[in-house]
Amino acid sequence: MFFNRFHRVFLTTALLLGMAGGAVAATDKENFDENVKTITPRTISISLLRPDDGSGEAVLRMMAPNAISGCPIIGPIETEMNVNSTYLDITVDGYTIDQNNLETHRGACDTARQYAYADIPLDRALLHGNNVTEIRFTVNNEMDYYTVDLNEERLELLPRRQMRVKPAGGADAATGGLTFWYYPKGTVILSVPAAPAGSDTTSTLDQFASQHGLKRLDSVMHGFSAIAGKAGQAYYIDGTGALGAMAGKTPVTVGTAIIDGRTVDVYGHQPGMNE
């Protein structure tokens, strides 16, 4: 049974190599049916994302590794999902590339790379309601295992075997796993992009936050730690809404601070799809 209603495919436009109707560059196992190609990925990368729907729930993004050239129509990664006892089983079946009716003149396609994705909501009702303790991924007839560690503050996926399914990025250096935090209302992220190299941005941001009535997030979520790969950012609770009217999903200037004698802009934004 395919849960296509759970899957949203995020595809960029095609990469033009030579003529727009060029060949598909892929190293995966391929099954040809005239001009429609079915590809079964050998590997899948995964990440935990935060949708912009305001739900605050995690979405598991599964991404095929190969870029596409030419002007094909890319189908979604099709998966089969079932709950078996305390296991959430996800089987990757593949995706299609339709090369019918391709444009043949140069410049017919956009030049951005194109990938196939599938997004699967991992909401707390699904995980907690079914007492899910492990996700079993089947890719190319091999099974990988990720332990599910869920509490009120965060969701962690910790790999026990990851031959076919590996984190796309942002994995914890110690555990190799992925973490999704359930932020309280009013969470904002501050940063100082123009800070001199090697300067103490944390103290500067803490002082700025205190002046605007913000509290450090780890004073409320005691288990919180900085997101892997997000150095230079600091997380706070804007309980009074002092910055909320200014800070959306895209970083904007919310004030200034002084670092090493220089006045620099402080940027703020709310946690979004990629934090």
Q: What is the pLDDT of residue 207?
A: 94
pLDDT (0 to 100) of residue 268: 93
pLDDT above 70: percentage of residues in the chain: 80
Query: CB under 8 Å, gap of 24 or more: what pairs does 259-265 form?
Result: 259/192, 259/195, 259/196, 259/199, 259/200, 259/201, 259/204, 260/196, 260/199, 262/196, 264/192, 264/194, 264/195, 265/192, 265/193, 265/194
Strands (E), 68-173: 73-74, 78-84, 87-98, 117-122, 134-139, 142-150, 154-161, 165-167
Which of 170, 155, 148 shows the shortest CA–CA distance to 233?
A: 170
Q: How many Å apart are CA 201 and CA 184, to the nearest integer?
A: 24
**Local confidence band at 88 (pLDDT 50, 70, 90 cut-offs):** very high
What is the value of pTM for the model shown?
0.79
pLDDT band at residue 111 under the 50/70/90 scheme? low
Side-chain-side CA neighbours of 131 within 13 Å: the count stands at 3
Euclidean distance between CA atoms 73 and 99, whole angstroms: 7
Stretch 227-231: mean pLDDT: 61
CB 187 within 8 A of CB 237: yes
pLDDT over threshold 80, residue 33: no
More confident call, 219 vs 68: 219
Per-residue pLDDT reduced to its tens digit, 235-254: 999 988 878 677 788 889 99
- Which residue would you say has higher pLDDT here, 152 or 173? 152
Convert the pLDDT of each residue in 198-221 to its tens digit: 888 989 999 999 999 999 999 989
pLDDT of residue 26: 42
Please give the structure tokens belonging to residue 229.
């790969």
